[in-house]
Amino acid sequence: MKALVFNGPGQIIYEDFPDPKIDDDRNLIIQVKKCSICGSDLHPYHGDKIGRADYSKPVEKFCTGHEIIGEVVEIGKAVRNHKVGDNILIEGGVGCGDCVNCRKGSANICTAYAQGRIGTAYGLSAKLQGGHSEYFQVHNADLGAMKIPAGISDEQAILLTDALATGYYGVKTARVKAGDVVGVIGQGPVGLMAAESAYAAGASKVYTIEPNEARREKSKRFGAIPLEPEMAVPTILEDTKRLGIDAVIDAVGKATTIKQAIKLAKFGGRVSILGIIQPEATLSLYYAQMKSVTIHAGIVGISGMWTELLPLVQHGKIKGENVFTHHFDLKDGAEAYRVFESQDDGVMKIMMTP
Ligand SMILES: [Zn+2]
Ligand SMILES: [Zn+2]
């Protein structure tokens, strides 16, 4: 088959790659219908680190991508919830499928991953091939994939594989409740989905903080108040008589944005960090402690969000609109990565078709 293959930082090449073969009875194979590039795919692309992986050093080639939907073409003997011909959406993260955490949809805290026995997400190493490809093996398919219900668009289905589930996880871990005033730092796809999810959870006001003007404007559509980063602290402190806000979701994960999140939170407020923090990032927790701010930093367990999220999408409480700005054929994936990385041309999220 053809696939986008990681050949080193900055080098995503559309080339021949071995077809996937079912290597566990719980797995299945799909023909990929659509796939997208996630912000975290840019960490290998930039030669950064994720978990135990350091992409600045030579690594075995692998297919990229963990935001995937497609049609089931072959199933393993132990698969119960799917059949050939089904259109399914796939959880971007993978666990062992056996431990207590995997069974409740929290592959992010899988015990086998904690012990270093398995990979964490598709398309980040040769251990778990990604789905920027014509065919793709879904692991633990009964737990980590869902049939796409009627009325869910391809765009919404792809958002449920990662960005929307991650944004919603930020809202849950920041414990947003009805009436809360919320700030979301970063208005890439995850931040935008966090802002929309905050309203769905009953937030009375959402500030969205983002340097890129085109991105800043998007959240206005569902009523958020966009702010440039330099204006966020003075504006929000003035609006709240210097008290700060109930909850802040950081979809960037840099030391500067985490510091800003702590500044924006009220005494006793909550901060949830979604952006992948680089190991070198350092910051003092002095103000967090002085303000008794609770900080949550984590990686979403995607399928664990679906039960709550799906009805919100089906009933139009979360629309996930205006996220996909660009469409490419998979064969032009190298260009798609370049455009996505540049943030030029108003790019927000890219849909690719094999
Ligand atoms: Zn992702
Ligand atoms: Zn597990």
Crossing angle between the packed helical segments 163-173 and 303-314, to the nearest 10 degrees: 100
Q: Counting runs of H as helices and runs of E as strands, what totals does the chain give?
A: 13, 18
Whole-number Å distance, alpha carbon 243 to ligand 1 midpoint, is 34
Helix (H, G, I), strand (E, B) or coil at 17: coil
What's phi and psi for 148, nearest 5 deg?
Answer: -75, 115
Under 8 Å between Cβ of 133 and 65 = yes
DSSP symbol at 142: H
For residue 96, give the ligand nearest its CA.
Answer: 2
Q: Flag whether pLDDT at 130 surpasses 80.
A: yes
Whole-number Å distance, alpha carbon 128 to ligand 2 midpoint, is 15
Q: Render pLDDT for 296-311 as a digit per residue (tens, 0 to 9).
A: 999 999 999 999 999 9
What's phi and psi for 264, nearest 5 deg?
Answer: -80, -25
Q: For residues 262 and 249, what is the distance between their CA atoms, to the nearest angstrom? A: 10
Provide the token pair at 154.
């391809």
Whole-number Å distance, alpha carbon 192 to ligand 1 midpoint, is 14
pLDDT of residue 278: 81
Q: Render pLDDT for 81-97 as a digit per residue (tens, 0 to 9).
A: 999 999 999 999 888 99
Sheet holding 2-6, edge to edge: 12-16, 2-6, 62-63
Listed residue (45, 49, 42) closest to 281, CA to CA: 49
- Residue for token digits 């765009």? 155
Tell me the mean pLDDT in the region 227-251.
98
Whole-number Å distance, alpha carbon 293 to ligand 1 midpoint, is 27
Instruction: Give residues with Cβ within 8 angstroms of 253, minimum separation 6.
Output: 273, 274, 275, 276, 277, 278, 281
Whole-number Å distance, alpha carbon 41 to ligand 1 midpoint, is 7
Whole-number Å distance, alpha carbon 308 to ligand 2 midpoint, is 21
Q: Render pLDDT for 138-152 as a digit per residue (tens, 0 to 9).
A: 999 999 999 999 899
Whole-number Å distance, alpha carbon 204 to ligand 2 midpoint, is 37
Whole-number Å distance, alpha carbon 52 to ligand 2 midpoint, is 18
Q: Render pLDDT for 62-85 as a digit per residue (tens, 0 to 9).
A: 999 999 999 999 999 999 999 999
What's phi and psi for 93, nearest 5 deg?
Answer: -100, 155
- Residue for token digits 């930039």? 46
Tell me the mean pLDDT in the region 150-175.
97
pLDDT band with cut points at 50, 70 and 90 for residue 276: confident
> CA dihedral in degrees (323, 327, 328, 329; nearest 10)?
110
Whole-number Å distance, alpha carbon 140 to ligand 2 midpoint, is 10
For residue 189, give the ligand nearest its CA.
Answer: 1
Quote the pTM value: 0.94
Distance of CA 211 to the CA centre of its chain: 20
Whole-number Å distance, alpha carbon 38 to ligand 1 midpoint, is 5
DSSP symbol at 7: -
- Residue for token digits 């979301």? 184
Whole-number Å distance, alpha carbon 166 to ligand 1 midpoint, is 8
Q: For residues 247 and 208, what is the distance between their CA atoms, to the nearest angstrom? A: 12
Over the chain, what is the mean pLDDT? 95
Listed residue (43, 103, 67) closest to 278, CA to CA: 43
pLDDT of residue 277: 87
* Rounded CA Rg of the chain: 20
The helix, strand and coil proportions of the chain, stated in percent and rounded to the nearest 5, come to: 30, 25, 40
- Residue for token digits 């666990």? 95
> CA dihedral in degrees (174, 180, 185, 191; nearest 10)?
80
Kind of pairing, strands 205-209 and 181-185? parallel
Enumerate domains of the chain plus CATH numbers. 2-162+302-353 (3.90.180.10), 165-297 (3.40.50.720)
Under 8 Å between Cβ of 164 and 309 = yes
DSSP symbol at 134: S
Q: Flag whether pLDDT at 58 surpasses 80.
A: yes
Least confident range of 28-37, 106-115, 236-245: 106-115
Listed residue (149, 158, 251, 152) closest to 206, CA to CA: 251
pLDDT of residue 303: 95
For residue 103, give the ligand nearest its CA.
Answer: 2
